[in-house]
Structures are given as C-alpha cells and as structure tokens.
Structure 1
Amino acid sequence: MLALKKATASVAAAVLLPLAAAGPALAAPSPQPKPHPKPPAAMSTVGGALLGKPGTQVRLAGGAPVLPKELSGRSWIVADAESGDVLAAHNAHWRLAPASTLKMLFADTLLPKLPKTRTHLVSTGELARVGAGSSLVGIKEKQSYTVHDLWLGVFLKSGNDAVHALAEMNGGVAKTVREMNERADELQALDTDVVSPDGYDAQGQVSSAYDLTLIARSGMQNADFRAYCSTVRTQFPGEKKPGSKRGTFEIQNTNRLLTGAYGIAPYKGIAGVKNGTTTHAGSTFTGVAERNGRVLLVTVMNPSSTERFAVYKEAARLLDWGFAAAGKVRPVGELVPPKSARTGTTMPTPVTDGGGPVEAAPAGRAEAGSSGAGIALAVVGGVLVLLCGAVFVINRRWPVRRG
C-alpha cells in the first residue's frame, strides 16, 4: 500500500512539475502594438519657422472653427492656393514615402516637353522595370499610343506602365529621375528625393505634405495638367488584334473625391489632383477644390485611422475646415515661389502641337456616363485658368510657366 502511494505521488509530481514550470509562459503578456513613428524634432523651415516644428500648427483668430478631431495623418497641410498662405499644418516637412502622388512631379516635369499627338510604339521589354503589384492602365508591348493616351493612363488609373512608356520617350528612367529632382529643386520642394518616377516604393524616395502641395500648385498652372487630373472617365485604346479594328475600354479616375465611388461622396468643387497607395507609404492624397471663388489645396499622408478610405475623408474634413476658417486664421507659413521667380529667370516654354487639353465637365454639369461629380470652374475657365491675370493671383507674385 505504501509503495502504491509513493508511486502515485511520483506520477503526480512528474505531471505537475512540468506544468508549473510552463505556468509563467502561459501568463506572458500579449504582444504590444508597435509605436507610431515620431516626426523629427526639427524639420525644414522652407515656408516659415512654424512649419519646421513637429505637431499641429494653427493660429486661430476670432470666430475661427477648431480643427476637426478625426485627423490621423502622419503629415497634412491645408493652404490657400491663391495667396499661398498655409492655414494649418501637421508635421508639414516630415519626409515620407509619397506613393503615386509623386506622379504630380512627373507630370509637372514632362508635360511641357512631349507633344500630346506624338505616338509611341511600346517595345519588347520596355515595361520590364515596372514594379511587381503596380497599378496599371493596361498598355501592351508592340502597340502604339499617343502621349495624350498615356497621360490619361497616368492621371486616371495611376498607371506605372504609362509612366515608364513616357519616361522612355523622354530618354529613359535615369534621365527622367534626374530631371524630376531638378524640377523639385527649382520649385523649392527640398524634402523630395526621386528614385522611381512612378512613386513605387524605393529606398530613399521621399517627399512631404508641404512639397506635394507646392508641386500640385505648380502643376495646376498647366491647362493640360488641370484637365487630365479632373477627368472622371474616358476611353483608352485596347490591344489591336491582326485583321480587326482596334477597340477601346473605359477607365475611371481613382480619385474617390472626384468620382464619388465606394461610398465616398464626391466633394463639391473638387478639381483633382492625385491619390496614391503603397505598402510603405500607406495612403496619400493631394487635392484642390474651389468654393465661392476661393481655391484651397490639401495634402494628407499616411493616416493611421482604420476608417475605410480615411485619406479621402480626412482631406474632405480639412477642406471643409479651410473654407470655413478662411479669413479667420493667421497663416502659419506660406507656399514659396520657384527659385526662378526670385532670380527673374524666364520659365521654359512648353512644347505645343495645336491640340487642346482633355475635355472636362464644368461645375454643376455631369458628363455623359459620369458620376455627376461637380468639377470646379477652375478646370475649364474659372479660378485656376491662366486668364484675366488671375492664375491663383500667382501672376502678382512670380512668372508663370505657360501651358
């Protein structure tokens, strides 16, 4: 009997001791979420000292509304496109991955150089450098496309394949990247380093909310840029099969504030500009909108919110705030002019070929087959057009590159 008790005790000890040893492991704390990266303590002060400080910068005056609470972007800015005043900003000069918003700089650099009626035959292997998982418009090797076609692919579908075809027409990717960096320097977009012309994630490729806003402001002075980025949908050339007529297929703009797709309401007065998403950059967006004769620019980079399409919703909230706060806040900085404006250098004359820009619908009129999104008068003959000496009132401040 005693032997049986000893045996039973030995078995119990053999079972319980390992469990006791394993106890602490079972009670280990749950993995903690990674902390959000913090902006640098000091950043560029281009545009004003406050813009170089981390955190939110705003100077509310009497009657000014407070900023929206639902803002999670790592970096954002809202500015008056006419005066250049920065109404509010958050980590404006934080150098972050830009995703496809970098295509604005690509377009601002190349649009004046390539006649839009020029045709390009896509050669075998030309698209080999397009990154895996890229957004594509669907151009094919051994097919011809006009420059006009390719720009539609860039702006509406954010097609990296169209970017690489245009870069090939410009003398190659390396030359295009060099010229984009030179253009960024001319615009004083000094947070920007271009590695890939399409915005695809690349080591060392960065921009900032401030720079993207400068770039958008420059691009919107070009009539073709304005028209392309405000086009809701169009027909794109398909692949020509032997013995058959070449067909087309429809492409729609991926800017949700313009199209109103996927539950996002089209923003009243929206006139572009560009959205982007990559693994490293998260979601980014730069937009321009007009309301009651006032034109605002907004950029939001990498929101941390789990809200669906947060980048668009936060951009819309900032635009709403900006329109309500205009005239009731003191600027926290300014959008600086290009370097050539300070030296008196003449801006380059763009290549022209007699063709007009993309047809865009004026505000309040829906295109046939469109979502009915109102496109700001600025796009087709109003606030942003280079007429009547207005030009965002920029003509009063520096020479404008005609386009």
Structure 2
Amino acid sequence: MKTWYKSFIISIVAMFLFLVTLPQNTKAEEDVLNIEADAAILVEAETGKILYQKNIDAVLGIASMTKMMTEYLLLEAIHEGRVKWDQEYTVSEYVYQISQKRDLSNVPLRKDGKYTVRELYEAMAIYSANGATVAIAEIVGGSETNFVKMMNEKAKELGLKDYKFVNATGLNNKDLGGLHPAGSGDNDENVMSARAVATLAYHLYHEFPEILETASIPRKYFREGTDDQIKMDNWNWMLPGLVAAYEGVDGIKTGYTEFAGYCFTGTAERNGMRFITVVMNAKTNGKGTHLSRFEQTRKMLDYAFSNYTVQQLYPKGYTTKKYKTITVKKGKEKEVAIATKQPLSLVIKRGEEKKYKPVVVIEKETLTAPVKKGQKVGYMYVKYEGTDYGYLTKEGEKAAQVDVVTKQAVEKANGFVLAMRAIGELFSDIWHGASNAIKGLF
C-alpha cells in the first residue's frame, strides 16, 4: 500500500513539473528578444529564412504598409511597359478631395492639375501621401475599386496567406467620405499577418530592388522651386540623418492608424548581410509612439548583426560519402563522379557551423551516355540541428541550395564495346543463376 501511495505522489509531482515547465520554455523560445509588439518577424533577406518570430500568423491592421502592394503593382506596370515614369496624370475629383484633407494626406494636389507618375510615386514612397497613392491606383487600375481587386489577386499569386485589401492607401474606409472602393465595408481596413507582410517585402526587394533607391531618401521637396513646394521628411526615421537613424537601414515602409497601431517594415544591410523586419502595433513600456516601431526594430537588427555572419559551409566540388558517383548507361565508363557546382554559403548564427549537416537529393539515379561535364543530377542543402522556423517562400528555400553536377564528360561507347559488355553481363547472369541453383541443392 505504501509503495502504491509513493508511486502515485511521484506521478502527480512529475506531471505538475511537466505542465509548469513546458509553457515557460515555449514562451522563452518564441519571445527571446522581448519584442514589444502584437507581432514581429526577422528574416534573412536573400533566402527568406525566418530567424525570429512572434505571433506571425495573427491577422492585424497594416495601415500604410499597404502601400508596399501599391508600389509592387506600379513597378510591375512600369517593367511591363504599361505605365511610364514621365506619364502625366490629371487629378480626379476623388483624388483632389482626399489630397486636400490635411489630416489624411500631406501632399495636396491641385484640382485638374497634372503630375508625373514619378512625382506621385515619390510622394507616396517617401511621405506616404494618400492622395498620390489613390492617383497611382487610378493610373494602374483605372479606378481604386479595380485596383483593390488587383491587389488581392496579386497577393494570391505571390502565395500570401492571411490578408485582405479594401483600399490602396491603408486608411480606414470611414475616413474616405463614403467614396471608398465598391464591395468593401464603411469601416473596413486592410489587414495582413506579419508573415504575409514580410513575404510581400521579400518579393518587392527581389523583383524590384530599385524600390530602395526611393525608400532610402531621407527627405526631398515635392515640386521644388514652385508655389506647390512641400518638404517631405521620410516617415522611416531610421534613415541616415533622421531621429532614429540606424546604420544600414534603407527601407521600406511605416504605417499608423488607430486600428493598426504603430507598424514598420524595415530592411538594413551591413557586412554583406541584409535583413527584413516587421513590427505590428509596436509599443514601448506599454505605450505606442512614433518611436516605438523603430525601437523594437532596432532590437531585432542589433540581434541579427551581432549574432549572424556569412559563412561558407561547404566548398565548390564537395562530395558526400553516400553520393560520390552516379551510374552511366551505354557510356565508355560505367559511372561518373559528381560534386557540388558552387560553394554553399549562408547567413548563420556565429559558432553554429557544425549544426548544419549536408543533405544531397539525387534527381537522376542513372544517366545515359553521352553525359556532359557539369550536367545537373540533383542538389544539396543543409539541415539545421536547432530550432528551425523555415522560409517565407519556396523560391527562397531553393536559394539556400546548390546544384550537384557531373565532374567529367562521359562519351557514348561504340557498338562493339556495348555488344561485348552485353555478352559479358549475359554470361555473368547465367553463372550467378547456376551457382545459386547448385547452392540450393545443398
């Protein structure tokens, strides 16, 4: 009886300790940087590898970070030749009304005035001008209603999840005076998850890297030297010379509404490494301010640049013990040596080189001669023996791989050699068959 009672008490204590310690460990792992925001994510920009995450799949307000999708669709139209930078736009009544409300837009546009696409783009990217943003939506989509449809379709095409666009600017529809896009509600506002925002930023950076040329401008005058001149200080205060300047920061977009709180999608490059960050509804000591989003972003960037480095894990020409050669049919040689085509270099945590183990995937188990030198037969990636948050996209995951190729060419054998090889294989099969039959008798 005493033995049973003792075992019961030990079981209860063990279960209590398990329940107490498990949530604490999980919480520490998820919020190791103590980022004060509803959601946050840190990503290595070249591959989209997630290095830190907090609540990244929660759907939250994004405010003017919306404009990254507006920028994407404009730059796509520019690249495809559907829109030109020097193309002129005549201000519509709707754009005029939005631009004249100084609590909504900081760059007023003249009624029936003409503005180039580049002027409007700079006002949007640097100063987050909402009137200019709606103008761009009308240029690209014909109307903001149609443009919003394009935004949602593009998000789906890019593989984003957890999003809903209801206007081009990020404003709450209630501020648009009843002129909000058709099909959206009177009080609707754009929402995304931190993962989706980071993925959009990843695509924007990789497909249209020129975005940083404008996003990195700390200040500029709209229509300088004219009666319409307006000084545009970039809302990204982490740029050089601004309030929260941080070395290497050159983008991308801030946002704020009462619903979304203080948000920021940032990017910075130093020492051959670039990172992308997102914070949503950032606070400092429980209170949201203009600086909160930059203070929380600084924590992530400090962590990234202090703890990560570019490291060559495996050299060009690397082979594994399991895969040194691959079989060749009808060739002068029966096999060919294989190795990696390029060195495998990644941004990794300092001192963790040994946690990355090579994994070779062979796509063609057998080749048929003739075989070319450098012919791809598979690829190699590394498996991280630690907490792995994965990648934002499949494309990024592939960027962390290197091709495995043949080291030499293999010519096709002539007919005589192939015939003699076939005869030899025939006699070999007969011999092995007879040998096995004799063994079976005994």
Q: TM-score range by the shorter chain?
A: 0.5 to 0.7
Distance verdict in 2 for CA 1:132–1:307, change over 3 Å:
closer
Match of 1:228 in 2: 214
Give the SS at the match of 2:266: strand
Indicate whether 1:267 and 2:246 are aligned.
yes
Give the SS at the match of 1:179: helix
* Separation in structure 1 between the aligned mates of residue 305 and residue 118 of structure 2, nearest angstrom: 34
Match of 2:276 in 1: 297
Give the SS at the match of 1:290: strand
Give the SS at the match of 2:305: helix
Q: Which amino acid aligns with 1:220?
A: Y
Q: Which amino acid aligns with 2:137?
A: A
* Separation in structure 2 between the aligned mates of residue 332 and residue 253 of structure 1, nearest angstrom: 33
* Separation in structure 2 between the aligned mates of residue 253 and residue 395 of structure 1, nearest angstrom: 37
Deviation for aligned residue 1:180 = 0.6
CA contact (8 A) 1:76 1:298 kept: yes
Deviation for aligned residue 1:337 = 4.1
Match of 1:179 in 2: 150
Q: Which has the higher strand share?
A: 2
CA contact (8 A) 2:42 2:52 kept: yes
Deviation for aligned residue 1:67 = 3.6
Deviation for aligned residue 1:144 = 1.1
Gaps of 5+ in 2: 1-25, 78-82, 174-187, 309-347, 350-385, 404-442
Indicate whether 1:160 and 2:130 are aligned.
yes
* Separation in structure 1 between the aligned mates of residue 165 and residue 253 of structure 2, nearest angstrom: 17
Q: Which moved more, 1:122-131 or 1:198-207?
A: 122-131
Give the SS at the match of 1:93: coil
Q: Which amino acid aligns with 2:255?
A: G
Of 199, 207, 212, the match for 2:192: 207
Pairing of 1:9-28 with structure 2 (within 5 A): none
Indicate whether 1:90 and 2:54 are aligned.
yes
CA contact (8 A) 1:145 1:237 kept: no
Q: Which amino acid aligns with 1:184?
A: A
Q: Which amino acid aligns with 1:142?
A: D
CA contact (8 A) 1:269 1:291 kept: yes
CA contact (8 A) 1:57 1:88 kept: no
* Separation in structure 2 between the aligned mates of residue 138 and residue 129 of structure 1, nearest angstrom: 8
Give the SS at the match of 2:125: helix
Give the SS at the match of 2:190: coil
* Separation in structure 2 between the aligned mates of residue 126 and residue 149 of structure 1, nearest angstrom: 15
Indicate whether 1:248 and 2:229 are aligned.
yes
* Separation in structure 2 between the aligned mates of residue 271 and residue 396 of structure 1, nearest angstrom: 29
Q: Which amino acid aligns with 2:116?
A: T
Of 89, 93, 97, the match for 1:128: 97
Pairing of 1:138-149 with structure 2 (within 5 A): 138-149=108-119
* Separation in structure 2 between the aligned mates of residue 163 and residue 154 of structure 1, nearest angstrom: 6
* Separation in structure 1 between the aligned mates of residue 270 and residue 260 of structure 2, nearest angstrom: 30
Give the SS at the match of 2:281: strand
Give the SS at the match of 2:40: strand
* Separation in structure 2 between the aligned mates of residue 172 and residue 301 of structure 1, nearest angstrom: 29
CA contact (8 A) 2:261 2:288 kept: no
Deviation for aligned residue 1:129 = 5.5
Of 184, 187, 196, the match for 2:167: 196
Distance verdict in 2 for CA 1:109–1:89, change over 3 Å:
same
| TM-score, with length taken from structure 2 | 0.58
Deviation for aligned residue 1:395 = 11
Indicate whether 1:68 and 2:125 are aligned.
no
Deviation for aligned residue 1:393 = 5.3
Distance verdict in 2 for CA 1:191–1:125, change over 3 Å:
closer
Match of 2:74 in 1: 110
CA contact (8 A) 1:67 1:321 kept: no
Of 307, 311, 324, the match for 1:325: 307
* Separation in structure 2 between the aligned mates of residue 302 and residue 89 of structure 1, nearest angstrom: 15
- Which structure has more relative contact order (CA 8 Å, sep 6+)? It is 1
Deviation for aligned residue 1:57 = 5.1
CA offset digits 1:169-197 (Å, max 9, x no partner): 12000111011111111122111110011
Deviation for aligned residue 1:258 = 1.0
| TM-score, with length taken from structure 1 | 0.63
Compute the RMSD of aligned alpha carbons: 2.9
CA offset digits 1:200-240 (Å, max 9, x no partner): 1242521111111111111123143221211222221279x
Count of residue pairs brought into register by the alignment = 278
Distance verdict in 2 for CA 1:68–1:223, change over 3 Å:
closer
> Bigger radius of gyration, 1 or 2?
2
Q: Which amino acid aligns with 1:322?
A: A
Match of 2:330 in 1: none
* Separation in structure 1 between the aligned mates of residue 230 and residue 89 of structure 2, nearest angstrom: 19
Match of 2:432 in 1: none
CA contact (8 A) 1:155 1:274 kept: yes
Q: Which has the higher helix share?
A: 2
CA offset digits 1:134-165 (Å, max 9, x no partner): 24222222211110000101011101100111
Q: Which amino acid aligns with 1:317?
A: K
CA offset digits 1:12-42 (Å, max 9, x no partner): xxxxxxxxxxxxxxxxxxxxxxxxxxxxxxx
Distance verdict in 2 for CA 1:135–1:129, change over 3 Å:
closer
Distance verdict in 2 for CA 1:94–1:85, change over 3 Å:
same
Distance verdict in 2 for CA 1:333–1:189, change over 3 Å:
same
* Separation in structure 1 between the aligned mates of residue 237 and residue 401 of structure 2, nearest angstrom: 31
Deviation for aligned residue 1:251 = 1.5
Give the SS at the match of 1:128: helix
